[in-house]
Amino acid sequence: MALRRSTLARYLGIHAALVRYSLIHEMQFKANFLLWIVVEALWFGLQLAFMSVIYGHTDRIAGWSRWEVVLLVGCNQFIQQLFHVLFVTNLSNLSELIRKGTLDLLLLQPVNTRFLISVKKFEIGNIVNALMGLAVVFYALARLGTTPSPAQWLGFAVVCVAGLSVHYSLMFLLACIAFWTVRAQGIVWGYYNLFNIARLPAEAFPRGAYRAVFTWVLPMLLVSNVPAKLLAQRLGSTSDWIALLGMAVACFVASELFWRFSLRHYTSASA
């Protein structure tokens, strides 16, 4: 037990050091830092404006009211931006580590290589955009007249972490394709762009292959809809969040197995 605590403390210390380095690096380019926040905020504003246009012509979409959908958009923004803070830049850079041979140096470090690849850079600016999404969530709940209980907020935190785990595992798995293709940024960023689908209710899509794929294969709809339904008290049963938790575990195991398989087929670029 003491060894596990020591290992956990060591990894937390490494992560804290990487966060400090990222903050120092970002502050060297303050204009770029602020501009990125502004651009992301404008894009988020356009998403909300799009929903306003739609609800100018209808009262409900697949049974969802205007403020329920705004809540969904806020939840999607919160999860998407947290995902960007933690993982997107790092995972998209895996192909460059392979191509340049930098991965060799990471493999030699006395730290779990997957951990180093995943958290090497911390995108500080996207924290502001994540907080914007959370602010929209609170505003939408106020307009709905809904006050989630502490248990619901705890459940919201749990399913958000599960959603982040699902996205991380699937994007990491896709990034590992670079062991064969050398470059895989297009695949990784293509997955990230699919977040735009998640701002709509799952019920808005007709039952069939399309809805099934984006619920169970690339689970954009599941990850964004479950937190919003939980806060809006639209979850009719526990099956959705149990499915999300189960998928988080399954996706992580699959990505770990594929990572180990990829490393066995890795040929050093510096060889």
What tens digit of pLDDT does each residue of 218-256 get?
A: 888 899 999 999 998 887 778 888 999 999 999 999 999
Q: With respect to residue 270, please indicate whether it lies within any of the assigned structural domains.
A: no
Q: What is the pLDDT of residue 223?
A: 92
Q: Tokens representing 198?
A: 């998640």
- 3-class DSSP state of 187: helix
Residue that wins the pLDDT comparison between 28 and 156: 156
**Average pLDDT for residues 157-172, to the nearest whole number?**
95
pLDDT, tens only, 62-94? 889 999 999 999 999 999 999 999 999 899 999
* Cβ-Cβ contacts under 8 Å for 119 (sequence gap 6 or more): 15, 18, 86, 87, 90
CB atoms under 10 Å from CB of 115, counted, come to 14
Residue 45 lies in a domain: yes
Full domain range(s) for residue 199: 2-264
Taking the model in full, what pTM does it have? Answer: 0.90
Once rounded to an integer, what is the mean pLDDT over residues 204-223? Answer: 86
The pLDDT value recorded for residue 37 is 78
The per-residue DSSP string of 123-169 comes to: -THHHHHHHHHHHHHHHHHHHHT----HHHHHHHHHHHHHHHHHHHH
Domains held by the chain: number? 1
pLDDT at residue 172, as a whole number: 96
Q: Which helix or strand (DSSP H or E) is residue 64 part of?
A: strand 64-65
Q: What is the pLDDT of residue 270?
A: 57
For residue 269, tell me if it sits in a domain: no
Neighbouring residues of 184: CB distance < 8 A, sequence distance ≥ 6: 94, 95, 174, 175, 177, 178
**126-155: average pLDDT:** 93
Question: What torsion do the CA atoms of 33, 34, 39, 41 make, to the nearest 10 degrees?
Answer: 120
Note the pLDDT of residue 60. 87
Please check whether residue 111 lies inside any domain of the structure.
yes
User: Is 271 a member of any domain?
Assistant: no
The amino acid at residue 249 is V
